[in-house]
Amino acid sequence: MVRHEPLFPSTDGQGRGGDKVKRSLTNQAASGYGAVTLSFQLLHFMSNTNELPIPGLATRDTNAEELLRVWFNKKDLDLSLRVIEEWPDPLAWGVVFAAITRHLGAVYQAKHGKDPEQTANRICTAFCSDLGFLPELDESQNK
């Protein structure tokens, strides 16, 4: 007896394109017979190898929504975003940007030994400067 159990739905919602199958075999005994269960874990097959993986919590929560996607081509930024009904006040995006800033602080500390607070400060300074709230950045202070 062989059962096929999809663990995640297709990324395009129609069971085609953009999926790669990872198989894991487990042996089980069922009704005196040696049953084999094939588990298919559908993983997002990235159409662009520069695409980041979907975070773990988002793959397990069927209510999760992608809110922001940013691409950089060595010259320009390109982005797409979704404003959700649960956040009618743009203040919520400030919380998102703060979470991104904290995450970047941890990454820069791990990869480059930078102090997370200084990293957050530089990000906030660039953010405000780019929006015209502060004078231009002094790059001589970049450590």
Q: How far apart are CA 108 and CA 100, in angstroms?
A: 12
- What per-residue confidence (pLDDT) applies to 102? 97
| Residue 87 three-state SS | coil
Return the percentage of the chain with pLDDT > 90, whole number.
56
φ, ψ (nearest 5 deg) of residue 27: -95, 135
Is the pLDDT assigned to residue 22 strictly greater than 60?
Answer: no
- What per-residue confidence (pLDDT) applies to 47? 57
Q: How far apart are CA 52 and CA 102, in angstroms?
A: 19
For the entire predicted model, the pTM comes to 0.60
Q: What is the pLDDT of residues 73-105, one digit of tens each?
A: 999 999 999 999 999 999 999 999 999 999 999
φ, ψ (nearest 5 deg) of residue 142: -70, 115
Return the percentage of the chain with pLDDT > 70, whole number.
60
Q: Domain-by-domain residue ranges, the chain?
A: 1-48, 84-143
Is the pLDDT assigned to residue 135 strictly greater than 80?
Answer: no
- The CA–CA distances, whole Å, from 65 to 6, 17, 74, 83, 85 equal 21, 20, 28, 10, 12
